[in-house]
Structure formats: structure tokens, C-alpha cells
Amino acid sequence: QVQLVESGGGLVQPGGSLRLSCTASGSIFSISVMGWYRQGPGKQRELVADITKSESTNYADSVKGRFTISRANAKNTVSLQMNNLKPEDTGVYYCKVVRAVVDESGLREEYDYWGQGTQVTVSP
């Protein structure tokens, strides 16, 4: 069982910045990937950015150069620094954690966990 607590959402003007944080608790071992997704009004949920245990990162094209994802392993926390925010960035941002478990026979299973979501609104 993994519980995710998100923080940092809010209202900001275009060009402003926000930092989102997500902390995992519970069965935090075997976490392989942590990332952020978002869903704007009338849009499908999309990957914003994620980061692996090896610190490999992946970003949506729409946020490259503006957003930075980082991971604090000691506290099982992932952060998303969002700069130069645009109205198109408005939406509910969800933290996602992937937990990979390998049993004694070498069989691998993955489990997905989602945060409750935090609202980000970019408006004049």
C-alpha cells in the first residue's frame, strides 16, 4: 500500500512559477518511477514528466524547457518546478508512482498509485 500526498497547486498569473511536491508513504520500497500527469478541461490526462530510480527523466514536448522534475530519494518525494506557466498548463495535476515487485522466482509485477490531484490554474 502506497499513499501519496500532493501539495503546491494554486492560482498563478501567466509567466509565473509554481512548485509541486508529492511524498509517498507506506510500502515505499520498490518504487521505480515517480511522475506527474495532468488533465485540463476537455482534455485527456497526459504525462507531464516522470523520473526513474536512475534519475532518467522524460518530459512532454509542451513543457520542455519550462518544467523540471526532481526526486529526493531519502524522503520518497518527487517535485515539479514549473516556470513560465501558460494558461494551457491549467488543469488538475496528479502524482503517479509505479511500484515494481520481483518475487523470489524473478517474476516482475508493477502496481500504479495515484495522488488525489492538485489544481493548477494559470489566469490573468
Tell me: the pLDDT tens digits for 68-115?
Answer: 999 986 668 999 999 999 999 999 999 999 998 888 999 989 999 999
Nearest 10 degrees: Cα torsion 69, 71, 76, 77: -40
Q: Is the pLDDT of residue 29 over 70?
A: yes
Amino acid letter at 60?
A: A
Q: What is the mean pLDDT of residues 29-42?
A: 92
DSSP 48-92: EEEEETT--EEE-GGGTTTEEEEEEGGGTEEEEEE-S--GGG-EE
Amino acid 73: pLDDT? 65
Amino acid 53: pLDDT? 86
Amino acid 70: pLDDT? 96
The pLDDT tens digits of the residues spanning 7-26 come to: 999 999 999 999 999 999 98
C-alpha cell at 51: 523520473
Q: Who has greater pLDDT, 108 or 48?
A: 48
Rounded CA separation 44/73 (Å): 30
Amino acid 102: pLDDT? 86
